[in-house]
Structures are given as C-alpha cells and as structure tokens.
Amino acid sequence: MNEENKTEEKKPETAEKPQDNAQAKGLLKKEREFVIPGDKIVDTMDYLPGRNCFRKGDSVFATKIGLVGVNGRVVSVIPLNESYIPKAGDMVIGEVVDIQNNGWVVDIKSADTAYLPLSGIREFIDVSKTDLSNYYDIGDAIYAKISLATDNSTQLTMDDSRARKFKDGRILTINPAKVPRIIGKKGSMISIIKSQTGCRISVGQNGLIWIEGGDEELAIKAIGMVEKNSYLEGLTEKVSELLGYKPGEQPAEQAERSKEENVDG
C-alpha cells in the first residue's frame, strides 16, 4: 500500500554534481517551490523520492505542504508544519508525567509518551531503597536523548553530556518543523541568539525550547521571528539586526557556550 520512500535527504555529496542534475530530466518544480500534498514534482525515473515524497508509476509526488528540495537525484519536501516524530539520537525536552517501578513516563509532545528506564540513568539506583521521585518527580522538565524509537516504544536516556533536569527557566513551544531553522547551519542561528541575549538556551527537536537568564524577552522575540519567517531571504541579517549583532564580530562567549551546550543534535 505505502509507496512512500524513506530515503533520507542527506546523500553522499561526492557523486552528484550540478552538471549531473542538468542531464536528469523530468523535474517539474523549482527548488524551494511551494507544494501541497499530491503535487507532482517529477515525472520520470531520473529522480528518487526522498523525505515527504512518494512514487507512483514513473512520477514522484509530495505528501506534505512544504518546499521542494533537490539534492543530486533525490527530491524531497521540506515540511512547513509537522508533528514531532521521535528519532534515535534526538535531544528532546519532556515532562515527567508518571513514575513506574522501573522508570519514568515522559510526555515529549509526540504521538506516544516516552519511557526513561532506570538503565537510562548514569548511576545505579536500588529501587528497593530509593524513591524514584527523588531523581525525577512528576512535573519535572528534563532534557534527554532518544535512545530507541520504534513503532512500539520510544525510550530515553540521560547518558549524554547535554542531558539534565531543568531547575528553573521557562519553556517555549514552537512548530517542530522549524527547529532546524532555530538551530541554523551548524548551530549558527542559536549561537547568535545566545551570545547576544546572554540566555542559556536548550533546543529540543520536539519543538520545546528552554530559556533561562539573560534577556529572555529578546531571545523569545528572536525565536519568534525565526519561526514565523523561516524561509525568508536574509533572515540571519534580520535577526542579527534585532539582536544588535554585527556580522564578522566574534560573538562573546560563543565558543565557550557551544562547547557547553551543543544543541545541534
């Protein structure tokens, strides 16, 4: 039934060069053109369906509203709106909603709740002597890594240098499809926001963002600007302007902070 191909967007960059694209025929849409579900992007076998695309016959169609992406011979749709789908290795922000015998149930704002088992904690806990709520209590906000994501279960681990429990600060919720834009290329966007506002910020791939200290209001404004204008040309300049950041200037503390909290997970 399901022809949708799960080919990832990231293909080896070596083989396919722009001139190679010129030979491939059948691309009906321009790169970054807006498409809706059912729009035909390609009508030949020269291209493979990537993320958010499916093949039917010789053609490739979009499954989501988004922008066409072309990477070598792979076409994909960069989504404009999305619910979070857990992926192993993602850092997410979640709320502890239940404590069971052998771990914690965590709401990560996705289609299923996640489970943090005792094995996901770095230290040994003797459940016969310890109340698990001493570690994470109901209502606690945690930054955790997804260790396993299948159709049957989503599991978390705290065994990552970035993982921790948040003790203060605030949580902002954004459209998960916009998370890559908030982070920016190699963390460039979030670095500018952090350095110019003095805030500590952790971004969850599930669209939850933790902010603490510094000029929180300015940071929220900047994040809002990126979320609303994700694909606007010159976005980095606009955000820089809002934050009073001059490009070329080495952002203070940037190097140190990005070491401390690598959010480009």
Partner 1 sequence: MAREDGRKADDLRPLVVKAGVIPNANGSAYVSLGKTTAVAAVYGPRPMHPKHMQVSDRAYLKTVYNMVPFSTKERVRPGPSRRSKEICKVTRQALEPAIFLDKFPKTRIDVYIDIIQANAGTRTAGINAASVALADAGIPMRGLIASVAAGKIGDEYTLDLAGKEEEATDCDLPIAYMPEEEKITLMQLDGDISPEDTKNVVKLAIEGCKKIYAAQRKALEDRWVPEVKK
Partner 2 sequence: MMIIQKNHIRGLASAGKRMDGRKEDDFREIKIETGVIENAEGSAKVSVGKTEIIAGVKMNIGEPFPDRPDEGILMTGAEFSPLASFEFETGPPSEDAIELARVVDRGIRESHMIDNKKLCIAEGEKVWMVFVDIHILNHDGNLLDCAALAAAAALGHAKFPKYDGEKIEFGEKTDKGLPITCKPIAVTLTKVGEKLLTDATFEEEGASDVKLTVTTKDDGNICAIQKSGSGPLAFSEIEKAFEISVRKGKELRKLLE
Binding mask 133-172 for partner 1 (x = CB under 8 A): ------------------xx--------------------
Least distance from partner 1 to the Cβ atom of residue 189, Å: 16
d(CA 166, CA 209): 11
Residue 93 near residue 204, CB atoms below 8 Å: yes
d(CA 190, CA 265): 12
Q: How many CB atoms lie within 10 A of CB 109?
A: 17
Interface with partner 1 includes 37 (CB under 8 A)? yes
Residue from the set 95, 112, 215, 264 that interacts with partner 2 by CB under 8 A: 95
d(CA 138, CA 147): 21
Residue 96 near residue 70, CB atoms below 8 Å: no
**DSSP 3-state of 129:** coil
Positive or negative: CA dihedral 148, 155, 178, 256: negative
Site residues for partner 1, window 229-258 (CB under 8 A)?
229-234
Residue from the set 53, 91, 116, 141 that interacts with partner 2 by CB under 8 A: 141
Residue from the set 126, 151, 168, 256 that interacts with partner 2 by CB under 8 A: 168
Binding mask 192-211 for partner 1 (x = CB under 8 A): --------------------
Least distance from partner 1 to the Cβ atom of residue 67, Å: 6
Binding site for partner 2 (CB under 8 A): 95, 137, 139-141, 166-171, 217
